[in-house]
Structure 1
Amino acid sequence: MMAGGPPFSLGVETHAGLAALTRAIRAEEDGKQLRKELAAGMREALKPGANEAKGSIMSMSSAGLPTSPALRSAVARKIRPEVKLGGRWSGARVKAFKTKNVRGFPNAPKRLNRAGGWRHPVYGNREVWVQQRGKVDWFDRAFQGREGAYKSGVEQAMENMARRIADRAR
């Protein structure tokens, strides 16, 4: 797995094998169902990483004040494995999507992961701004040392589908 794109996603880069496999699936009569099964297998291989990232953000300390809506759980709900087959980008990754409608803070996953944190005005006083920090590298640390396991899991799902298509031809 390699970090690609924004700092709040981790994915397997596109390679020729995935493109060839996608073309072979399209050629099959039930290609749409096979694509769904391949995508499901690839997502399943990345689920442990997504769960680890969710646990990491949920372990972030809070100020102890009850606030609504809950930022940590909103960010955790937006962490999902994503698979795309074909198009401009093909591959599998775990991504923390934007948190729309959560305290007016759509970039929360990215800002909470950043060492510099973010600035915002104090509630009720728009002239006073404060610097706030989240749990630095909460997303990145969830995958450290296990990138190879997730990559091999995705490749195993691809290999299983390729073997399944090859067995049909015999």
Structure 2
Amino acid sequence: MSIRLQDGGDLRRISRELRRMDDKEVKKRFRTELRAAAKPLVPKVRAAIRQIPSKRGYSPDGLRGALSKATKLEVKTTGKQAGVAIRVDGRKMPSHMKSLPSMVEGKKRFRHPVFGNRNVWVTQTSHPYFYSALRMAGPVARRAVNRVLDGISKDIS
């Protein structure tokens, strides 16, 4: 699950121009500025994860701790998928929890065995956290990314 914060056409055009240029400093500055523009969103998502209700409280070893650790910022400036993404990556979750980021965010309830005991199952409600955390901060980050795109466009021209 991720949220894209770029104008895809402009970002692809700038990426193409940067590939044609042989100025490593401008390329490095572009990636650094994009990362800095989106970096404040990661703590917002992690804070929203910690606010998910739990009867046991927050534990770095539990579900919310694993979700928080799996939250990453990705900046890609090459290829068709050039962009900035905040991602709660299921691949970074423990082996038995890989599908949980989307299940916890989902709109439906889900069932799971209690501590791996397949004889005892519980139904758990989802607690959307991702999009609600970014809804307020998204426009600010989008403006910051657009400022970076404008600045690099001026440098390229």
Q: TM-score, normalised by structure 1?
A: 0.79
Residue 70 of structure 2 contacts residue 93 of structure 2 at CA under 8 Å; is this kept in 1?
no
The equivalences for 1:1-170 within 5 A come to 8-13=1-6, 15-31=8-24, 33-64=25-56, 69-98=61-90, 100=92, 102=94, 104-123=96-115, 125-134=117-126, 136-166=127-157
Task: Let me know the Cα RMSD of the aligned residues.
Answer: 2.4
Consecutive unaligned residues of structure 1, counting only runs of 5 or more, are 1-7
> Residue deviations 1:101-142, cap 9 Å, x none?
5261112221111231321123363133221124x2211111
Structure 2 residue identity aligned to 1:29: D
* TM-superposition CA deviations, 1:13-37 (whole Å, max 9, x none): 5532212211221222224x43332
Give 3-state SS (helix, strand or coil) of 2:42's partner: helix
Aligned counterparts of 2:7 and 2:32: Cα–Cα separation in 1: 17
Structure 1 124/90 Cα, relative in aligned 2: closer, same or farther at 3 Å? closer
Aligned residue identity for 1:119? R
Structure ranking higher in helix proportion: 2
For 1:52 and 1:40, locate their aligned partners in 2 and report how far apart those are by CA, in whole Å.
20
1:120/1:129 contact within 8 Å kept: yes
Question: Helix, strand or coil: the match of 1:145?
Answer: helix
Amino acid paired to 1:12? L
Which one has more relative contact order, counting CA pairs under 8 Å at least 6 apart? 2
Q: TM-score, normalised by structure 2?
A: 0.84
Matched residue count: 157
